[in-house]
Structure 1
Amino acid sequence: MFKDNNVTLRAITLTLLAMLAFAGNSILCRLALKETEIDPASFTGIRLAAGALTLWLIVRLRSGSSSGAGNWWSALALFAYAAAFSLAYVQLSAATGALLLFGAVQTSMIGYGLVRGERLGPLQWLGVAVAIIGLVVLLLPGLDAPPLGAALWMLAAGVAWAVYSLRGRGAGDPTRVTAGNFIRALPFAALFCLLLWPSRSLDQPGVLYALLSGALASGVGYGLWYAALPLLATSTAATVQLSVPVITAIGGIVLLNEALTLPLLIACASILGGIALVVLNHRKPA
């Protein structure tokens, strides 16, 4: 599972903390937009600003002369993800949002791989079919179906994050590149806040949750993940991310009193199981 089969306490600890941080983004965003008065645009702006500052400090404290500074197109994709993410969580539960986001990210990246010449085996095609069925189950009209508008916002956030991730491959030191992109995303966030200025709303708890989302769940979380990646085999790095929607669902039940419904359980098992079939049987491009 780990590179050179060397399962170290450091690798396990970094990976666990990073997954908790990623799940924490969904929990904090939903908590802020459900329990406080903060609006989605303000949450997005504060989150990106806190993330930018935290990542800048991490880069400054690290030694070395690694390359990478980010770029404007990637920053736009990062902002699109963060804005759509916040707009979606006005109505979505934490678990449903995380599942939609993860499904959209992985589906987009698998589709990109197919366009680039990757070939799927029978088990991988089965995995794609099972994952799509899971998304359909989750979105079917009914008492437990999420609001369509909010679901579409989260799917858009997933596509934007996939674009951001794909653009970041080989762009230099991941932490330095991410810091540069967060800083470049701030003008987009400021414009977003200005456009929604009439509906702005702030309170102390909402601002605190946004700061925690940006500084800890985003900034520190990405730093931990990039520190863990060199210690993980590729298949392990892909598979371990399947835990994020599950951790988010547990957090939503414990912290937000969200219900764990049967359609959500079926969708979770289908989407995560299907994606696992794909990533665990990865083939190189033809």
Structure 2
Amino acid sequence: MSTVTTSDGTSIFYKDWGPRDAQPIVFHHGWPLSADDWDNQMLFFLAHGYRVIAHDRRGHGRSTQTATGHEMDTYAADVAALTDELDLQGAFHIGHSTGGGEVTRYVARAKPGRVGKAVLVSAVPPIMVKSATNPGGLPIEAFDEMRTALAANRSQFYIDVPTGPFYGFNRPGAKVLQGLIDNWWRQGMAGAANAHYECIKAFSETDFNEDLKKIDVPVLVAHGTDDQIVPYPDSAPLSAKLLKHSTLKSYEGLPHGMLSTHPDILNPDILAFLKA
């Protein structure tokens, strides 16, 4: 397997497909998944001549199940270790959900020339948890319930999430895709319980407001209006306002996991933005 070793000895697994001299795209997965969640997009962009790269976040998938580092600063540092190892220049970074937070933190701090464009898909910024400064956020109790469910029976929790709100399969008339549910469970159970538990705090309580303001590359912010995991009104429109060069693309009625349920809609839109 291809891996890069970080400064604290963590082994980060990654995939790297396509010509080494092609435009690189780096994909950042959501919680509690792995690089495998981007299979559709990696094949799509590979077929369009790109070099496609995706890694498993520490504690997820095939990367080291570490005791520490399950917060956004370390996640971003791990990405920097990977991009340094591969010496990526002008790369496009695409992040889904928690991966969108990882992209935001990394791009805001990246070395000059490393990043060309970014895409945030159903992403967690600016900040998810409700507070005096973020009255439209979700109450902390919602995330406490996730932690309780994970600790009590992680395997069942990882069936309930994709069967219900993640892909919108709980909506009337939804076409349920059992393969997506099974693959979500498979990816989740490959990771570490401690990493997933601590990552809930990382994706829900990290404040990305200042990161968004620092980013000076073009960013596509793509979000479904029926996102039951990262509600649309308190995420995408707010991020787009804080970014210097943003394009907001809203998808009426699409769910949080739209990159998997509707790749036929999302992929061409991302391709058009990257080519523009």
Same fold (TM over 0.5): no
Identify, as 1 or 2, the structure richer in helix: 1
- Calculate the TM-score normalised by the size of structure 1: 0.28
Identify, as 1 or 2, the structure richer in strand: 2
- Calculate the TM-score normalised by the size of structure 2: 0.28
Q: Which has the larger radius of gyration?
A: 1
Question: Larger relative CO (CA 8 A, sep 6+): 1 or 2?
Answer: 1
